[in-house]
Amino acid sequence: MSGAARTSAVRVGLVYPELLGTYGDRGNAVVLVNRCLWRGIDAELVEVAAGSPIPASLDVYLFGGGEDDPQTMAAAGMRASRGAIQAARDNGAVVLAVCAGFQLIGERYVDAGGEVLDGIGLVDAVTTAGSPRLIGEVVVEPDPSLDLGMLTGFENHGGRTKLGPGTKPLGRVVTGGGNGVDGVDGALGNRLVGTYLHGPVLPRNPELADRLLSWIVGDLAPLDSPFEEQLREERIDAALATGFARWRQTRHLARG
């Protein structure tokens, strides 16, 4: 369905921003709404407050990053509303889940003490706490099906996420940690993206924002995004330079 054919606003849901908003992931919601409005597509930001049921009426479900205790509280609310989320998914809704949100749409998270936090199982993925913490710039080569350029972001997490058989990653890590295993970042499903990329990820990667929107409204008219593209290129260059410097230092130390 094209944007012109819609009879209602695109409802961009920011889920539990008090709990899953530690790293500025609200910016993802702002970008999606604005990139609709700039094209003349009606859109609204819907905040789902912590403790409230998550409605089945949203077009986009955004789950952001958070610390351990808020993540535990968010998980309880997400599990209670799993039926509504799945009903929305069945009706074509899109999910973007970042860091803690990505872990919670998986099967479970196992903390450093062995305690298990159940997720909502939208993707076949299990996360375990690991060391060292993965912090820094990341560059990801996305899955070819997305037809996107390199993705850039910033990670800050201790999780190690193992994808189940048949679950696609968002892409291959060029530099950085990503999922921390298998050299990949995130997960890619039907109208679903999970990732460890903060920044927030959509201001840094406007093409990815438009891909998510296209899953809802169909083909989109192009937008001129010079500042966003400049940021993306600058961050990719900086991350790749840092990654190369780290590789060179490691190689030098290995040689003694």
Secondary structure (DSSP) of 159-227: EEEEEPTTPBPSEEEEES-TTSSTTEESEEETTEEEE--BTTHHHH-HHHHHHHHHHHH-S------HH
The answer, yes or no, to whether residue 52 has pLDDT greater than 60, is: yes
Pairwise CA distance, residues 240 & 12, whole Å? 33
In total, how many domains does the chain have? 1
Choose, from 36, 157, 198, 252, the residue flagged as catalytic.
Answer: 198
**CA count, 13 A, side-chain hemisphere, 104:** 33
22 secondary structure, DSSP code: T
Choose, from 36, 99, 157, 252, the residue flagged as catalytic.
Answer: 99
**What pLDDT, in 10s, does the model give residues 192-245?**
999 999 989 999 999 999 999 999 999 999 998 788 888 888 888 888 886 544
pLDDT confidence of residue 5: 58
Q: Estimate the share of the chain in helix, then strand, then coil, as percent rounded to the nearest 5.
A: 35, 30, 35
> Among this protein's residues, is 198 annotated catalytic?
yes
Q: Cis omega (within 30 of 0) on the bond before 200?
A: yes
Indicate which CATH number applies to the domain containing 95.
3.40.50.880
**What pLDDT, in 10s, does the model give residues 8-51?**
999 999 999 999 998 899 999 999 999 999 999 999 999 999 99
> Among this protein's residues, is 36 annotated catalytic?
no
The answer, yes or no, to whether residue 149 has pLDDT greater than 50, is: yes
Enumerate the β-bridge partners of residue 198.
154
For residue 15, the enclosing domain spans 3-255
